[in-house]
Structure 1
């Protein structure tokens, strides 16, 4: 793929959202370019080698100058010493470069320069240790620069001796057959045997040639001059990292390498490549680009590539689906993984999680929507496979209608042990303290199985019986989840006394009312039992649950002074509440008692969606579109296309970036914790589930932890079902 195609994708990633309005649907799922990280392996015997410079020749072979000789790339993303030419294998070049135009590799040794092209006929003998830098133009002119002097050769013949500019060399360049000399204070070009100064500056570090323009990097940003030295684009230090080590112009875009990663200038801003997601370390000492537009970043310890590949959303979904099935299923639960040994990918382990049911609802939901779209029997099979885990949460213990958080074989519990209890089957333990988060998962999986998968009377009854048991337990216990100790769990509470104890400025009041009415509606539609309908209207009319549900999101704000069992609430925003609300909205709307309520629900969903738009979450957009009819289409595609197939939870940092506009952290003025005015791409942020703030820009759990990918699969298959993409 040529680099010219990449800009379309990168521009899309950085484009500002086009919010709700008339859109043309469906969008055709066409291939788009996506950046992929490749880290080259280095043989352990070379672990102490020091890297200096990287070049890509005309055949897209990669060569690295080191203190141990010349290294190059080999199949399998391996770098090792270049032993192809026995006459050169034991020699250490002082410098290497590629010839302008041909891409031929040239070597500079202490006593000669040469190339293996032209049948090896070019070889110029030199005074030993006099020259340390070289450049070659398309006319076969070879420029050599040393500490005190320079020289130009044509093939093997010395053409002329050169003096040097008075200020020391930073780097030598060749562009349009002309040689250029960069110092910390000036830019020169070679006019026959004289260096002509065209530009004076301060703290200059790098140059990049782009047609008739030259971008000039400094220790504090960059600016652009024309070839006469006149400034044509003013100084810009609003960069991710202003201190620039190396620059390149690739297909008209400026790339920058720094001590804190690399970035590329796009029409809408900068794409930033840093952290273990992209680099073995952030300090970049050199970079190169091949003819396909792939970038190579050389650090003191390794070689890293960012290559651009074409893929469709369907291809990404197939990859993530296959990966999840192979590596992330635990008893039917969709489970994030960790490496017991962070350095060994074969030590992958699946551990229990407090929210196994909730996380699995994303995977099960994706397969339900997949079945609705494709009618593939495998998708249906996968739904019932995971539903068995939900059913077992009800039966692994003796408490009628109470759903455990999760279960595990005796002796293999990974999490905290206090909430765990032995099951009647001595081979198993189960975990209590079940919360509203888990209840939301039960709501969602029940509804989508009922809507899209359960077809026979037996299947319908199976789903109805499951949810009927849960709701019977809740009603029988005064709208609480009652644990093994006979007491309500910490968060499994829908009782009016609890719900209405929250101020109208706290989202818990709106959310818990919504969960209650949604559960009663769903249970009524599944079973036809009148108690569920009468209870729903009693809650709405006598206890104000409908009014609570309609509390405007703009009314939710910093609310001090509220504690629940010693836990301070109301003073920050819990983004898992957004997750719970939007999953519930699908069920609330589609199982409404009547059309009047449906219209009320659509208004409250739209109200919440409006305040969520800056987070550009595809799932919230699609859940809104499938209920209230609202969608930010551009952000939906931006999310889906930008979701990385590599789901390792890299530790990343963005708070140092100078290109971002930050918002105040004060909870009273920025209650939803939006750190920046605009959201940066997902591949630049810590990779989190849907219950986290999309504006978290620093953090992560490390390369030893990996998400399942259902964070993508559910919105993808919803988009297919809703005919947003095709």
Structure 2
């Protein structure tokens, strides 16, 4: 054995001894926080989104001629790119092999022994410690490299493969959908929104990049559309009009208007989105839309016949809706002062936060003096009713609604309020702050100080997010960030503002991994800190154009790890948020870690969850 081989063998044996010693020790890892996380951003990155093209995927069926043409294509499980590398679809993953000429290299006997030793350590380290360094060492010396779930492949049981000749991309069929290898990343396509079923029999890629897919039960064509964010905004703005009914926003069920529990909240978010757009661009159409929807919100307060109490939703009795409201669960009522109108009660804190969020954004950015007076009157009536009933939301019968607790005394006597003091503190303080801002009333200013000085609610905002894995309610996240926005924006006391920002920073750090553009942009606008603008933009890019809620399964994927706990509804959750293009469509109050959805494609959502963060980010010049 020559000197070089001896040195190499000594190095490997030394590394093995070191690994063995470490495996018997208690290994601790120090975590370091970058100062960039706390540094103030003195400028906003100049992200020219109008010049950034990105790909959206749109599904359509194949014509009879295309089906016949596709059926003539052979099923391939191996393809070779022009440089000689082979891509092989196997039941264990994607095998990528070096060109044929390099596969015939002679390997000496002692190197084969060292590879065997490394393989032994790989089995031990992978089994007990999840350490894959020895496996990578082995693969770097082999002619073929198996890409599996641990290396990012969404599903390992592959059935077919094809090259996209013009782009160098590889499209792969599997028993659970389609995988695209593009720009070094894997993209996953599955579910009824894209495929007739997920078992791919054959796949073909046209020069344009369009993917033709044959499954066990049918054919699909997945085409690519290149858009800028500005073009996507125009598309969603056009689609939004299908969900507007006299200014009120409803989802659609089978294409028919479907009034729901939180229509007042969705309408409020539309008001805010249009207000930010008007303040940014001075677009008169945006102002007209915002005006129509703010009037619809004010009508939700009038239709209840109870000053200061507003409905969840409302519609005319002769309107065509997707269900028989008389058989629908909920607090349904006829309006006495507006004959022919039906409204739904049992209003929650979510609705209160949404209405006040919309009123104050519109009041500050859009309203003329006459509209300000009208908003001041409505908010004044809401304030009067809440003051009369100790900050609780009380319905037209004089009962506190199911989710209407706001009385600070409840945090000392009521179990639910006691453990929810953080969210109650933030929501209540924000509501009273907004009422004081719009009405300019001394009694509301006094109530705000009382909540802080006598009930300690400012301190309560430091722990607005309570994270107990099986019981996390992601609906609270939307409520909290909307509350933080105006509480911090309107606060003039620098000490209180600093306290609120401390709570916001804690909350956002807990939510950061979700890549939520609304959370990120609100945090950035209020704090001036580094706020992951790029990941927020990535989510806006990934968000699908099709907002129909299709059934989607991801729990089988090979590239995910599961959380130990299921969510509060018993659903499986991943440790990392999947790309938003891979998940079932949902609003920001849904759980982004849930893997599977039972959507039946009957419900279609309005696009305000995309439009609001887009225009808020534009207003604050974040991109």
TM-score bucket of the superposed structures, by smaller chain: 0.7 to 0.9
* Corresponding position of 1:359: 266
- Cα distance, 1:259 vs structure 2: 2.2
Post-superposition Cα deviations, 1:646-692, rounded to whole Å, max 9, x if no partner, equal 1111111110011112232267xx99999333321111101111101
Pair 507,318 (structure 1): closer, same or farther in 2 beyond 3 Å: farther
Aligned to 1:195: none
- State the distance in 2 between where 1:616 and 1:337 align: 27
Provide the residue aligned with 2:548 in structure 1. Answer: 648
| 8 A contact 1:513–1:548 mirrored in 2 | yes
The 3-state SS of whatever aligns with 1:684 is coil
> Which residue of 599, 611, 614 corresponds with 2:498?
599
Instruction: Kindly indicate whether residue 289 of structure 2 is the aligned counterpart of residue 382 of structure 1.
Output: yes
Match of residue 539, structure 1, among 431, 447, 451: 451
Alignment of 1:643-722 (within 5 A): 643-665=543-565, 675-722=573-620
Residue by residue, what CA displacement relative to the aligned partner does 1:687-709 show, whole Å, maximum 9, x if unpaired? 11110111122104222211111
CA distance in 2, matches of 1:423, 1:24: 50
Q: Which residue pairs with 1:614 in the alignment?
A: 513
Quote the offset at 1:252 in angstroms: 3.2
| SS, match of residue 212 in structure 1 | coil
- State the match for 1:401 in structure 2: 308
Q: Which residue of 2 aligns with 1:254?
A: 170
Aligned to 1:235, which of 146, 152, 164? 146
Are 2:398 and 1:486 aligned?
Answer: yes
Give 1:500 shift. 4.2
Q: Distance in 2 between matches of 1:544 and 1:603?
A: 16
Deviations 1:629-658 (A, max 9, x none): 231112111011111111111111110011
8 Å CA contact 2:212–2:220 kept in 1: the answer is: yes
Give the number of the structure whose residues are more often strand, by fraction: 1
Show the 5 A alignment for 1:129-144.
none
Deviates most, 634-643 or 251-260: 251-260
**1:33 has 2:51 as partner:** no
Check conservation: 1:246, 1:258, Cα contact below 8 A: yes
Whether 1:623 aligns to 2:522 is: yes
- Whether the aligned pair in 2 keeps the contact of 1:372 and 1:721 (CA below 8 Å) is yes
Over 3 Å counting, the alpha-carbon distance change for 1:645 and 1:284 in structure 2 is same
Aligned ranges for residues 192-591 of structure 1 at < 5 Å? Answer: 205-209=77-81, 211-228=83-100, 230=103, 231-238=142-149, 239-250=153-164, 251-266=167-182, 269-325=185-241, 327-339=242-254, 348-410=255-317, 414=323, 415=325, 416-424=328-336, 425-455=338-368, 457-501=369-413, 508-551=420-463, 553=465, 556-558=466-468, 572-591=471-490
Normalised TM-score (structure 2): 0.80
Q: Relative to 1, partners in 2 of residues 1:594 and 1:484: Cα closer, same or farther, differing over 3 Å?
A: same
How many residue pairs were aligned?
A: 534
Q: Deviations over 1:261-295 (max 9, x none)?
A: 11023566421011122112212211111222222
* CA root-mean-square deviation: 2.7
Conserved 8 A contact 2:515-2:536: yes
Equivalent pair of 2:410/2:418 in contact (CA under 8 Å)? no
Change (3 A) 1:491 1:626: same
Structure 1 residues 703 and 504, CA gap change in structure 2 (3 angstroms): closer
Query: How far is 1:253 from its partner?
Result: 3.3
Report the alpha carbon displacement of residue 318 of structure 1 after superposing the two structures with TM: 0.9
> Secondary structure at the residue paired with 2:404?
strand
Residue number in structure 1 paired with 2:125: none
C-alpha offsets along residues 241-263 of structure 1, whole Å, 9 cap, x if unaligned? Answer: 21211112333333210121110
Q: 1:677 to 1:594 in 2, by over 3 A?
A: same
Structure with larger RCO (C-alpha < 8 A, sep 6+): 2
**Cα deviation digits, residues 456-482 of structure 1 (max 9, x gap):** x22221221121111111111122111
- Report how far residue 418 of structure 1 moved: 4.3
SS at 1:522 equivalent: helix
Q: Which structure 1 residue ranges, 5 or more long, are not aligned?
A: 1-17, 44-61, 65-69, 73-94, 98-132, 134-169, 172-204, 340-347, 559-569
Cα offset for 1:502? 6.7
Aligned residue number for residue 51 of structure 1: none
Are residues 217 and 571 of structure 1, via their aligned partners in 2, closer, same or farther at CA, if it must alter by over 3 Å? closer
Q: Is the 8 A contact 1:366 1:713 kept in 2?
A: yes
* 2:409 aligned counterpart, secondary structure: helix
Pair 1:501–1:252, CA change in 2 (3 A):
farther
Q: Is the 1:39–1:305 Cα contact (8 Å) retained in structure 2? A: yes
TM-score (norm 1): 0.69
Secondary structure of residue in 1 paired with 2:463: coil
Tell me which moved more, 463-472 or 361-370: 463-472
Please say if residues 356 and 406 of structure 1, whose CA atoms lie closer than 8 Å, have aligned partners that are also in contact: yes
Unaligned stretches of 5+ residues in structure 2: 1-35, 104-141
In 2: Cα distance, 1:634 partner to 1:291 partner: 31
The 2-side partners of 1:41 and 1:247 are apart by 19
Match of 1:187 in 2: none
Specify whether residues 572 and 445 from structure 1 end up closer, same or farther in structure 2 by C-alpha distance, changes over 3 A only.
same
Q: Answer whether contact 2:56 2:226 (CA < 8 A) is retained.
A: no
* Contact 2:518 2:613 survives alignment (8 Å): yes
Q: Work out whether residues 40 and 304 of structure 1, in 8 Å CA contact, stay in contact via their aligned partners in 2.
A: yes
How far has the Cα of 1:578 moved from its partner?
A: 0.3
Query: Relative to structure 2, which stretch is displaced further, 402-411 or 498-507?
Result: 498-507
Taking the aligned partners of 1:303 and 1:494, their CA distance within structure 2 comes to: 54
Give distance in 1, aligned partners of 2:534 and 2:569.
26
1:634 corresponds to:
534
Cα deviations across residues 385-440 of structure 1 (Å, max 9, x unaligned)?
01111111111122121111111223667452541111113311221100001001
